[in-house]
Amino acid sequence: MRLIRWCRLCASGIVVAVPACGRAWREAPAGITAAPWYGLLLCGLAIGGCTNVGPDFAPPESPVEETWDQGTGGGLQAKPLELVEWWQVFEDPVLDRLIRTAYQQNYSLEVAGLRVLEARAQLGIAVGSQYPQLQRGRGGVTRVSASESGANTVAGDLNYWQYDLGADVSWEMDFWGRFRRGIEAADANLAASVANYDNALVLLTSQVAQTYNAIRIAEQQLRVARENVVLQQRSLDITQVRFRFGDVNELDVQQAKTLLLSTQATIPEFETSLYQARNALSTLLSRSPGDLADVLGPEGDIPSPPGEITTGVPADLLRRRPDVRRAELQAAAQSALIGVAEADLYPSFTLAGSVGLSAADGTDTTRTGDSGAGELFSSDSLVFQGGPAFSWNILNYGRIKNNVRVQDARLQQLLISYQDTVLAAAQEVEDAMVAYVRGLQQGVILGQSVEAARRSVDLSTLRYKEGFSDYQRVLDAQQSLFTQQQRYVANQGAVIANVINLYKALGGGWQMRAGEEFVDDENKEMMRERVDWGELLEPGSTDPAPNDRRRKPDW
């Protein structure tokens, strides 16, 4: 007698009857509708749409003010802005070309793009989990030799070949939303990997600009040092002439020589800074350290600051800063994992079945007709079984509940980390704003001090040559001029560095990837040669998908 198993779906009111095993359908009792095997599918789909356990993610509170504390002034304007290619405010074609080259070639950025593809493939795994988890073909040939002294071996063939061929299927239905929550987490992780790529692009553009600025600073420091060496060499020549004529003593000569040598000693230091900055730029461009004349061109000036910088409002950071978006998406992914863990508290429902052929070929001489492999494909060799089942983890001694608590604690950590990220982002903006404004103010004063020092050198040198003052005044004036000129160059570089830091803090630069792929064609081709990537390397494969309940698997 074949057994009849019942599947009653209380929520939907669907009642179907399916056989647990056998090759024929029996009539169900009155009031129950007998269904063929597709009743199992209907049962699974109905159950799979029941509920999602675990919390639904809500964006955390963002501790930001309505306006910047620094306010406006000094060239800062709190107007809406779109930071796409912010480096163009410097109107420097060399810098524009360097950033574009780094975007196309930088290795670290390529790795970040490949991680986006990795996250996309992980999403494909999560999507595939909502479909029948086991779909397996099997087959085998086994030689069996049973013991003659064993139980139930009085009659029958003890030595035979067993032939089997069949297929198994098992589908754990997503009754509690375990797999849907897994897809939700994978979706958030994919979006977080895109935000991570954007953050890497923000850092890359700022690093290229800062390194280029450092190169121009070192070049100007070298220029100032060499100009002062020429100036101080002339002063030394004057003191030596006057010493030969007996107008001054040897002390003036030695003081002039000391100042000259001290200034000459700064040149190797500036040259070291210049070469190191060029090497750093080579690395950002994914080139071996070496001559960069082909991309840098001749010695150039430090970029000029823009006349106006628009900063927007603090709330703009939430959508513009990639690291802030990444922190929120990481929390969203972790929120979904709570639902995955909580689903283990409830029973899981599975539809399972197998169908196959089984036959044996023994040495029993009383058997007639074909046997063994010859009988494998006969109708008498058909065997199948199937039906619904459930399993429930009980007496787990708190392991499941504590796993849920672990996931919730991790979520709370990420929510707090998000708020900390927002505050750190706001601090970076405020710090860059005040440094930029104060740097501009300092630059005006230093420019005036350089002019005063240059005039002092001219006057003291003239008075010394005419014998109206001693050499100490010339010495002091020349030392002051060199110091003020170096401070002025450093201030010019610091102002540009603060502009770069401000645009980086505002989250500018990643927008340049609009319409571009995360991985270049060369890397894609190498990956296609190794592995079948299907459509995941096609344009648009990493774009956000509609939040449908069930999506197609990525074959």
400-424 pLDDT, tens digit per residue, is: 999 999 999 999 999 999 999 999 9
**Residue of higher predicted confidence among 379 and 4:** 379
| SS3 assignment, position 353 | strand
pLDDT above 70: residue 22? no
3-state helix, strand, coil in the chain (%, to 5): 55, 15, 30
What would the mean pLDDT of 269-276 be, rounded to a whole number? 95
What Cα–Cα distance (Å) separates residue 141 from each residue in 153, 371, 373, 377?
Answer: 22, 14, 9, 14
Q: Which of 5-19, 201-215, 487-501 has the lowest mean pLDDT?
A: 5-19
- Mean pLDDT computed over every residue of the chain: 85
DSSP-assigned letter for residue 12: T
Q: Which residues contact 357 (CB under 8 A, 6 or more apart)?
A: 163, 164, 165, 166, 376, 377, 381, 382, 383
Q: Which two three-digit tokens encode residue 89? A: 């405010």
φ, ψ for residue 94, nearest 5 deg: -65, -45
For 450-507, give the secondary structure using H, E and C.
Answer: HHHHHHHHHHHHHHHHCCCCCHHHHHHHHHHHHHHHHHHHHHHHHHHHHHHHHHHHCC
Helix locations, 32-149, DSSP H: 38-48, 93-105, 107-128
Q: Is the pLDDT of residue 35 over 60?
A: no
What's the pLDDT score for residue 82?
Answer: 67
**Which segment of 159-163, 174-178, 190-194, 425-429 scores lowest on mean pLDDT?**
159-163
Give residue 51's pLDDT: 82
- Which position has the higher pLDDT, 552 or 261? 261
For residue 436 the two structure tokens come to 């930029």
Percentage with pLDDT > 70 across the chain: 85
Tokens 């106006």 sit on residue:
308
Q: Which residue has the higher pLDDT, 27 or 333?
A: 333
Q: Which domains does the chain have, with CATH numbers?
A: 1-48 (no CATH), 55-68+79-130+175-346+397-431+488-530 (1.20.1600.10), 134-173+348-391 (2.20.200.10)
The residue-averaged pLDDT of 418-439 equals 93
Could you tell me if 550 and 531 are in contact, meaning their C-beta atoms sit under 8 angstroms apart? no
pLDDT digit string, tens, across residues 496-528 = 999 999 999 999 889 899 889 999 999 999 999
Least confident of 44-48, 91-95, 109-113, 448-452: 44-48
Query: Which one has a higher pLDDT value, 461 or 9?
Result: 461
Give the model confidence (pLDDT) of 209-255 as tens digits: 999 999 999 999 999 999 999 999 999 999 999 898 888 889 999 99
Is-contact 7 45, C-beta < 8 A?
A: no
Pairing of strands 4-9, 348-362: unpaired
Across the beta sheet with 159-173, what order do the strands follow? 134-145, 159-173, 348-362, 382-391
**How far is Cα 478 from Cα 458, in angstroms, rounded to an integer?**
9
Which segments of 75-152 does DSSP mark as H helices, in order? 93-105, 107-128
- pLDDT for res 498: 95
The answer to whether residue 24 scores a pLDDT higher than 50 is: no
Strand (E) positions, 363-406? 382-391
Nearest to 300 by CA among 218, 240, 238: 218
For residue 324, CA distances in Å to 67, 383, 506 come to 18, 58, 11
Q: What integer pLDDT is reported at residue 338 of this predicted model?
A: 96
